[in-house]
């Protein structure tokens, strides 16, 4: 494997994503969209895959207008292997290849174990874990060989719930723990192909999904969630761009020697 020493390159050059093509699942809104916008600002062409086709198309058109890069919105259901393959095909055909793939789509319903149906368990597992596997496999199949010259990156979105338990989230925490294992094993398999695999673990982030979910919680649990930030060491929860800036670092050559690890963006939540 070639030894790439980046010491001579400027910071400005190392963080740039010019000529890279980034595919982001669940990219129509929230954290996925924030990542897409920072990547576009850094020069990357963008593909947003999402169940919400209309919002993905709108977000892609906003990115083209704001950053002058190519951006497309593509219908995608990460649970479905054929849909994931089609997403990969559309991205490759339209953008000319895939250098960065982010497995970001996930759901996070709240339910106590004793009340949880098999259907809800399966749904969370299918989107958050199977979807991550299908996405990573699709990315790896297209990157192997193509990534010989430049490093390709797969970034999996886990959570602080990938490292600790949380009441009402047995299904979610199980999938986010599993994403860490997936990341580590994939990193080992794909390193010889010059593909880096990383995970990112945010604390609570104020996103459309979280705001929508809050309406389904009991007033006590909703109030508890709203007060989370004040109990965190840095005194606030995250906004999507906090996660996006760390993702940009992971995807860029700034992180050239990093693979298999997880970056926390957690306001200090896991420090104690
Ligand atoms: N928001 C948080 O507090 C938080 C904290 C830690 C980790 N995360 C993780 O960050 C990621 C993004 O979360 P968010 O809060 O931005 O979510 P969000 O609900 O705001 O956005 C998620 C997007 O994924 C799409 N999506 C859902 N199911 C899909 C499917 N089957 N196929 C394709 N797209 C699908 C939705 O349409 C939506 O556009 C998730 O992996 C989540 O687990 C979020």
CB burial class (10 A; 0-12, 13-18, 19+) of residue 179?
Answer: buried
DSSP H helices, 206-262, are 208-214, 219-226, 240-251
Dump the DSSP string for 23-54: EEETTTSHHHHHHHHHHHHTT-EEEEEES-HH
- Alpha-carbon distance of 159 to 141, in angstroms, equals 26
| CB of residue 243 inside a 6 A radius of ligand 1 | no
**Using a CB cutoff of 8 Å and minimum separation of 24, what contacts does 226-231 make?**
228/203, 228/204, 229/204, 229/267
pLDDT for res 220: 86
For residue 121, the CA-to-ligand 1 centroid distance in Å is 17
pLDDT band at 2 (very low <50, low <70, confident <90, very high): low
By alpha-carbon position, which residue is closest to atom 36 of ligand 1? 26
Kindly report, residue by residue over 199-221, the tens digit of the pLDDT: 999 999 999 999 999 989 988 88
Distance of CA 230 to the CA centre of its chain: 26
Single out the residue of 80, 258, 63 nearest to residue 155, CA to CA: 258
Helices (H) and strands (E) in the chain, counts: 10, 7
Of these residues, 139, 172, 202, 247, which one is catalytic?
172
Where does residue 197 rank: exposed (0-12), middle (13-18), buried (19+ CB within 10 A)? Answer: buried
**Probe residue for ligand 1, chosen from 24, 60, 105 as the CB with the greatest number of ligand atoms within 8 Å:** 105
Contact 105, 26 (CB under 8 A): yes
What sign has the CA pseudo-torsion 76, 80, 86, 87? positive
Query: Tokens at residue 154, please?
Result: 């797969």
* Dist. CA 172–CA 181, nearest whole Å: 15
Q: How far apart are CA 37 and CA 62, in angstroms?
A: 9
2-11, 189-198, 205-214: least confidently modelled range:
2-11
pLDDT in tens, 76-114: 999 999 999 999 999 999 999 999 999 999 999 999 999
- Record the tokens describing residue 249, joined without a space: 């670092």
- The pTM of this model reads 0.97
Distance CA 217, CA 228 (A): 15
Catalytic site residue 108? no
């Amino acid at each position: 494997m070639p030894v790439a020493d980046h010491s001579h390159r400027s910071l400005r050059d190392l963080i740039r994503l010019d000529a890279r093509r980034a595919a982001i699942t669940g990219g129509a809104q929230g954290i996925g969209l924030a990542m897409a916008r920072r990547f576009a600002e850094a020069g990357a062409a963008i593909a947003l895959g999402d169940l919400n086709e209309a919002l993905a198309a709108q977000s892609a058109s906003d990115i083209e207008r704001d950053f002058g890069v190519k951006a497309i919105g593509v219908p995608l259901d990460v649970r479905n292997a054929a849909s994931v393959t089609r997403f990969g095909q559309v991205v490759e055909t339209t953008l000319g290849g895939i250098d960065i793939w982010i497995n970001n789509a996930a759901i996070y319903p709240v339910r106590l174990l004793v009340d949880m149906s098999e259907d809800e368990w399966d749904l969370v597992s299918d989107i958050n874990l199977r979807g991550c596997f299908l996405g990573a496999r699709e990315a790896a199949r297209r990157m192997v060989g193509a990534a010989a010259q430049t490093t390709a990156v797969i970034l999996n979105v886990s959570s602080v719930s990938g490292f600790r338990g949380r009441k009402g989230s047995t299904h979610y925490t199980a999938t986010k723990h599993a994403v860490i294992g997936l990341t580590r094993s994939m990193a080992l398999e794909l390193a010889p192909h010059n593909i880096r695999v990383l995970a990112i673990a945010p604390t609570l982030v104020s996103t459309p999904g979280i705001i929508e979910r809050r309406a389904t919680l009991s007033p006590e649990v909703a109030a508890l969630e709203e007060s989370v930030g004040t109990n965190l060491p840095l005194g606030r929860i995250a906004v999507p761009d906090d996660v996006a800036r760390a993702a940009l670092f992971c995807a860029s050559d700034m992180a050239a020697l990093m693979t298999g690890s997880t970056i926390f963006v957690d306001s200090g939540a896991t420090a104690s």
